[in-house]
Structure 1
Amino acid sequence: MASVTARVAARVKKLRAKRGISQETLAEKTGLNRLTITRLEAAAHPPNVETLDKIARALQVTVAALVK
């Protein structure tokens, strides 16, 4: 079973791609640094709850949808 960090990374990447937005655009919509988005999608570090909330809002999903 994949780690929670890996599942979140894959889900964010999939949802972002499905919506046709770049990492840069997601960074702008969330107020996060593009490098943060890159690292998150690479499962390089676990996101905190605030980061998950910002990403969920930008992708128009719930936080639960990102971690399922």
Structure 2
Amino acid sequence: MCAEGDPRDAHEPLHAPAPCRSCGELRLAEAVANAQRDYSRAADCRVLLRRHQASADCIARRPE
């Protein structure tokens, strides 16, 4: 367990990948599109996120 005031999230695994700025931007764009009920754009964001994660540019790549 994390100590009181520990900045780590108790639910986040210790082996979590480093955050990737591009991934965060695409997730935010998807959330905005969903909030605006622009589901086509939200789907485009999901596709772009998966393509990005599959590329060598993503520093938070999912293990294959």
With structure 2 as the length reference, what TM-score do the two structures score?
A: 0.39
Q: Return the index of the structure with the highest Cα Rg.
A: 2
More helix per residue: 1 or 2?
Answer: 1
With structure 1 as the length reference, what TM-score do the two structures score?
A: 0.38
